[in-house]
Structures are given as C-alpha cells and as structure tokens.
Structure 1
Amino acid sequence: MTYSDELKGRFQASLMGNYGLPPVAVSHGEGRHLTDVDGKTYLDMIGGIAVSSLGHSHPAIVEAVATQAARLAHTSNLYLHEKEVELAEKLLELAAVDGKVFLCNSGTEANEAALKLVLLAGKASGRTKIVAAEHGFHGRTLGSLSITGKAAIREPFEPLGRDVAFVPHGDTDALKAAVDDTTAAVFLEPVQGEAGVVTAAPGYLAAARELTAAHGAALVVDEIQSGFGRTGAWFAHHAEGITPDVITVAKGMGGGVPIGAAIGVGPYAEALTPGTHGSTFGGNPIACAAALAVIDTIEREHLFDSVAALGAHLEERLADEGRIAQVRGTALWRGIALTEPVAAEVVAHLAANGVLANAVRPDTVRIAPPLTITPTELAEFCDKLIAALDEVQPAPGGRP
C-alpha cells in the first residue's frame, strides 16, 4: 500500500463524503507543478479551480504571507489594519468604480454580501425578486444557492424561501421578459465556469446593464472565477464597457489564500450599516497581504500580455483535433468540449500521465492554469490531452 492509499483511507474515515474521494493526495507545489505524497509530479492545469493565479509557492506570496504572519495575523472586525485599507483602495482602482468594499473569505460569502446589498437597497420599494441564469453558479450557502442555476445542487435544499426567476444564459429576450419593476437585482457571470466555461455573445452584459437601469434594478456581476486575469484582464465585464452595481470577486485574488470581496457602487456602496453584516475573518491581514502581492506581481510582470497569446496558441494547437467539438472561453480559462461524453475518462488518463485537469461536465474538460504557465508547459498539456483522447476515444482509422 502506498502512502497515497493510506491517506485516502484515513480521509474517507475522518472527513464527510461531500467531495467523494479525491484522486490525488498532494504534498507540495512549486510553480505550475504539484507533487503527491508518493513523489509523483503533475502539471497543474486547473490551478485549484482558477485560484492559484501565480502558481504554487510563488516567492512574492510566500514573502508577503510570512512577513504579515510575523507582524499581525488577525484582528477581527473590531479593529482596522493597514492591509485591508490598501486592498480595498486597490480593488476600487482596478474595478474603476466609485464605491466601497466588503471583504470576506470566499466567493460564496461575497455573493451572500451582494444579496444583502441589493435586498437592503430595494427594501424601500418592496423589491425582492432576483433574476439569475440557468446553469449559473454563485455558491453553496443557502442564500447563494437560491440564485444558483445548477438545479442538481439547488433542488435537494428547496424550498429556499426566495423569489428567483431563472433565464437561459445569454438570452437577452428572456432577460427582458423576466426583469420588471419588482426586480431587486440580476445576478450574472460574464462566463459560466461551472457550466463548462460558457461565454455569452458580445453585448449581453451591456444589454443587461441597460435593462436593469431602466427598471431600477441592480446588476450584480459575479467575477469570482473570471476575475483577476483569468480572461486576460482584471475583470471580464470591462470588455463590455459597463459599470455594474455590485461586483463579486474571490478565487484568483488571493493566489491560494482564502479571500473574497463584494464591491458596491453608488447606493450599493452605502447599503450596509452597522449590524447588517459582518465576518470575523473577513479582511484578515494575511489574506489581504497575499492579495496585494498577487496584484503587484501581475502588474509588475505584465502577465496579462502573455495570457492572451497563450490562450490563442492553445486554440490553434487544438483547432484541427476532430474529437474536440469546441474550445470555449478566453485566454487561460477554457472549456474543451469533446464530441463524446468521455471527459472523466480523459481527465483520469491525464492524471495517470502527470497532468491535472477537471471534468466539469460529462463532455467538457476545464482548465484554469496559473497565469505564469510557459509555452512549453502548455504544449505538454496539449500533447497529453491528445494522447488521452487516443486512449479513451480513438478516431476511426487512427488519429485524424
């Protein structure tokens, strides 16, 4: 029995079964690679689900976390500290909005805060209706779950006590039919990550902004997966030239350290008053230091310049592969749609050959590698993906 096998047994005996049994027991990471407890090394193409934006053990994050931990690890919300102020100011600068920030620990918590913002702001006019997209994902706590369009994870917990209308993602006409003067907010992802990295047609977010403004409703843009360079920009919605009322962020912002934020604009910046919301760990000094290090590194190393080029190279490399129906997404956030529902088998074959990816749907392999990935590492992924397809889904008469 390997140590991985032993650890998996202990995992099953001591942790709840909500994740099933993870296939790899990780020991440590460096750059774009993870090493398991038995010494096998993997190219990490999923990045902790779009979290490890600078890869693993990046010197800037290591230094920021160690320095801050030695200085001040925790304050609670009873006191303020320098790093949370610096981070809030920086987020407002990057988002290019006049607003205020609520700091928390995760994407789910950011969307919970956003729900409170829009419901408090709409309370005077009696607005309680929320409109969200089918197959969307906003979190698993009961509030964020109520606006999550993935029925399979929402329905076991219904009724959730909230007035929510779900519409097809990217369908402007359906959105127009659903939004009215009773609507408090529309929650949308610029790209639906958990649905398989599905991008709406250009102009969809702009249409949503115009529609919500016309009805006096808030537009909440969930940038939890898409933000912080995943699409080659700080925020995906900037491509539409819009200003949402609330922006939620997390994942890649901390580079592996848990942190999230809700950014409120205009009246949504002022909706929370003392006692309406809080978080013991929100704005933690260590997490804020890590986030500032991530932002500084992205800016200093001009990582966005390479992200778009690498994404284009990936598309070109896979364009003629007949068993790939489509490479969805942008830059280094991709859903590789297969012609057959064999994503789980492909991902298992990749892992056996030292590459970690995610079967986000039966027919879709999702990748979200560190923004620091090299062309050589990206080529390795493409080669091993095609080799996995050769093994799992051989083309008639051999390779196309």
Structure 2
Amino acid sequence: MQVTRELFDDVMVPNYAPSSIIPVRGEGSRVWDQNDNELIDFAGGIAVNCLGHCHPALVAAVNDQASKIWHLSNVMTNEPALRLAKKLTDATFADRVYYANSGAESNEAALKLARRWALDNYGADKDQIIAFKQGFHGRTFFTVTVGGQEAYSDGFGPKPGAVEHVAYNDLEALKALMSERTCAVMMEPLQGEGGLVSPTADFVKGVRELCDEHNALLIFDEVQTGFGRLGSLYAYQDLGVTPDILTSAKALGGGFPIGAMLTTAEIAKHLKIGTHGSTYGGNPLACAVGEAVMDIVNTPEVLNGVKEKEAQFRAGLEAINAKYNAFSEIRGKGLLLGAVLNDKYQGRARDFMVASADNGLMALVAGANIVRFAPSLIITDADITEGLARFEKAVAQIVNA
C-alpha cells in the first residue's frame, strides 16, 4: 500500500489538518521523512519527546518489557507500575499515584477526585471548580469545560455545571469568586496552549492561600510543564507552592502514552474501590518506559542542562529578532518557550511554523500569535544552533516576502 498525505483525507476523521510531511524515522533531535529529508525537531511531539527519538534506554525498556508481559488490566497489579509509582512518590509531595493513558484522563481523574473529596467531607453544595481563562486541560467533556477556551468547549451541548473561570494572574478576581462552595482550583503552573504565560510569585502563593482559606483543593495540571520541561522535575518545585493534586503525562512516557495523577494518602482515600478506573492505566509497557524516562530525567545533569539550554535558545532567538524585528518578546521557561509575534505579524504564527518546516525545522504554535518550541530536554548544543539557523531562514522568508 502506498501511504501518502492524501490517504489521510480518505480514511481519517477531519478534525486534524496535518502537514504534508510524513516522518518515518527519528534519532535524537532529528527526523527523516518518506523522501529522506531531514528535519530538526524543536516541537518534541508537543512537549512529549523529552529524550528525543528512539533513545537507547527507552528502546531497551520497551523491548525488554515486550518480551515479558504487555497487559493485565487492574484486576492485578504489575512490577513496572509499582516501581514507577514508588519513584514518583519518593521524588514529590505525593503519597499515592493513579495511572491513566493521557493528560486529559489524568485531569479527569483529578477533577472527579476533587468532587468526591468535597462531597464526602462537606456535602453536595461544595461543588464549584474554578479554572483560568485560556487554560487547557484536555478534550474530554469535563476537562474541556474546565479549560478556559470556548473555541474547544462550545458546540457539544450542555456542559458540566459548577465550573467557572477567571483571568490568569488576577488574584483579586479569584478572591472575589471563591467561597466555601469552592471545592477546587485547577491551574497550569505555566499556561502552555494559552500562550506560554508564567505566573507571578504573588499569584501562585495567593492561590494556595485562598484554597487553604476556603478548604478547597489546589490542582496543578503539570501535563506540559512536568517531567523536567521547566528545569525541575515538576514546576511546583521551583515555585515554593505545593498542590494537593498534580497531574502528569506527555513527557512522563517520552513518547509512549501514559498519564498519572499524584496526590496525598488523605485525599486519595476518597477514590474507593470501584469509584474510578482505566482499563489500560498502569499497563506494564507504559510504566516500564516511564520508569526509564524518570531514571534519566530526574538527575541534576538533565535538569540543570534544561536551564543552560534555555539560555542558549533565548540568546539565539533574541539575535534573530535583532535582525528581523518580528517578535515582541520571548516568553516561557526552561524548554517551553514562545516567540510572541509583534503587531506587524499578528495572526501569522502558523505561517512561521510552515516556513520553519520548509527550511528543515519542526516547530509549534500556541494560538495565532506565538511560535512555540518544546524540544528534547537533552537536545545537543549543535542541534540547537543548527535549528536556530534554520528558524532564522524561516523568519527571513516571512519578513522579506
């Protein structure tokens, strides 16, 4: 069978509009398409491929576990799931782990747990969930409702109730909305899809204090920010604020689908037997890969390296902008960065992404006005330099058109 981009239109639901490029193999931070054209990967599968493509330790973990046992369901537990859970709890505030297959499922579990915790402890009236405008928490009906982007949540009928939104970094607006009816506040410790928006120190601290004041849970969605992306294992560890529930996915599996919800023993006890579940959650293959990822990422070498590579990225992007004046700022943290387009190029982020691909670079967007970068955490300095050179060609192509 000849596999072409046209085949996508014949056999796939049209909710995506993928590039004409079809990658067929990858190594490190480089991939090759069907025609053996090489691209440098600054996209990372949307902050997923934290160790690049086909990292030897991850390939070994898959191969080793694949020859042992693939799937059991949660009628029985398995060794990789327990080993990874132990490493996650040892490295974080959490005592307990729930496994899922994705960030959306992890967030769904967190929201259901928060509602059940509130019901058990305070009664049915404590049901309000507050989240932030321009947030993103997944595509299930519950998580897309909690995410603060109507473009994703509208058009599917009545939404789950008792969900409200305020502006990110607006502590006064949150304070005005919160009450004893609030059961949880859900936030990203750096908004990803919403524009690479970092929280102020006062905002994060204030959210924690308001949750404590109103007996509400603080849920950190670390699906995109977690697992080394910002330079610490989880972003909360650099913010001086500890959530009650944390969700993880994307980089947790380095490209293999896995998600996790982490919380304390006291909160976790409210998901009693039978209250929630996942057929594939915690399957041995995914957890074996996740353990291999964690053993590499949760090291000073990699985490400190993220901060060093951020500096290299920022310097390179600023140098490009000094020549072409296309960006108003470079936003984000660690290796989750965004070049914000200035007034002259408003709405053209996708044009920059397409031009990047034309020049051998995989990039992302975050909305219509930000070109986003989320490369491997261990991308080489040489690949950063070459990738930025290719991005400069893309910027020149747009600016000089």
Per the normalisation by structure 2, the TM-score is: 0.94
**CA positional deviation for 1:203:** 2.9
2:78 alignment counterpart: 81
> 1: CA distance between counterparts of 2:236 and 2:381?
27
2:26 alignment counterpart: 29
**CA positional deviation for 1:324:** 1.6
Q: Does the 8 A contact of 2:337 with 2:374 survive in 1?
A: yes
Q: Does the 8 A contact of 1:31 with 1:56 survive in 2?
A: yes
The one-letter code of the counterpart of 2:76 is Y
Matched, 1:345 2:351: yes
The one-letter code of the counterpart of 2:51 is L
Matched, 1:11 2:4: no
1:140 alignment counterpart: 139
The one-letter code of the counterpart of 1:256 is G
Question: What whole-Å deviation, never above 9, does each CA across 1:136-183 have from its counterpart, x for those lacking one?
Answer: 000001111110101101112242132111000111111111111001
Question: What whole-Å deviation, never above 9, does each CA across 1:191-216 have from its counterpart, x for those lacking one?
Answer: 11101211121232221111101100
> 2: CA distance between counterparts of 1:330 and 1:17?
33
Select the residue among 335, 345, 356 that pairs with 2:338.
335
Matched, 1:69 2:66: yes
> Structure 2: 5+ residue runs without aligned partners?
none
Call closer, same or farther: CA 1:158–1:148 in 2, change over 3 Å: farther
Q: Does the 8 A contact of 2:93 with 2:264 survive in 1?
A: no
**CA positional deviation for 1:334:** 0.5
Call closer, same or farther: CA 1:301–1:62 in 2, change over 3 Å: farther
Q: Does the 8 A contact of 1:184 with 1:217 survive in 2?
A: yes
**CA positional deviation for 1:300:** 5.3
The 3-state SS of whatever aligns with 1:191 is: coil
The 3-state SS of whatever aligns with 1:35 is: strand
Out of 261-270 and 127-136, give the one that drifted further. 261-270
Matched-pair identity in %: 37
Call closer, same or farther: CA 1:188–1:57 in 2, change over 3 Å: same
The one-letter code of the counterpart of 2:363 is A
**CA positional deviation for 1:131:** 0.1
The one-letter code of the counterpart of 1:328 is R
Call closer, same or farther: CA 1:206–1:266 in 2, change over 3 Å: farther
1:398 alignment counterpart: none
RMSD: 1.4
> 2: CA distance between counterparts of 1:43 and 1:156?
37
**CA positional deviation for 1:298:** 2.0
Q: Does the 8 A contact of 1:12 with 1:21 survive in 2?
A: no
**CA positional deviation for 1:266:** 4.5
Select the residue among 102, 106, 112 that pairs with 2:108.
112
1:309 alignment counterpart: 308
> 2: CA distance between counterparts of 1:178 and 1:245?
20
Select the residue among 332, 351, 354 that pairs with 2:360.
354
The 3-state SS of whatever aligns with 1:28 is: strand
The 3-state SS of whatever aligns with 1:228 is: coil
The 3-state SS of whatever aligns with 1:272 is: coil
2:207 alignment counterpart: 208
Q: Does the 8 A contact of 2:297 with 2:303 survive in 1?
A: yes
> 1: CA distance between counterparts of 2:106 and 2:316?
37
Select the residue among 314, 323, 326 that pairs with 1:323.
326
Structure 1 runs of 4+ off > 4 angstroms? Answer: none
- 1:1-400 equivalences under 5 Å are 7-97=4-94, 99-124=95-120, 125=122, 126=124, 127-299=126-298, 302-320=301-319, 321=321, 322-339=325-342, 340-341=345-346, 342-394=348-400
Q: Does the 8 A contact of 2:224 with 2:250 survive in 1?
A: yes
Call closer, same or farther: CA 1:51–1:208 in 2, change over 3 Å: same
The 3-state SS of whatever aligns with 1:137 is: coil
The 3-state SS of whatever aligns with 1:166 is: strand
> 2: CA distance between counterparts of 1:22 and 1:113?
33
**CA positional deviation for 1:20:** 2.0
The 3-state SS of whatever aligns with 2:77 is: coil
> 1: CA distance between counterparts of 2:229 and 2:256?
17
The 3-state SS of whatever aligns with 1:17 is: coil
Out of 22-31 and 46-55, give the one that drifted further. 22-31
Q: Does the 8 A contact of 1:245 with 1:266 survive in 2?
A: no
Name the count of aligned residue pairs. 390
The one-letter code of the counterpart of 1:62 is V
> 2: CA distance between counterparts of 1:197 and 1:221?
16
**CA positional deviation for 1:21:** 3.4
> Structure 1: 5+ residue runs without aligned partners?
396-400
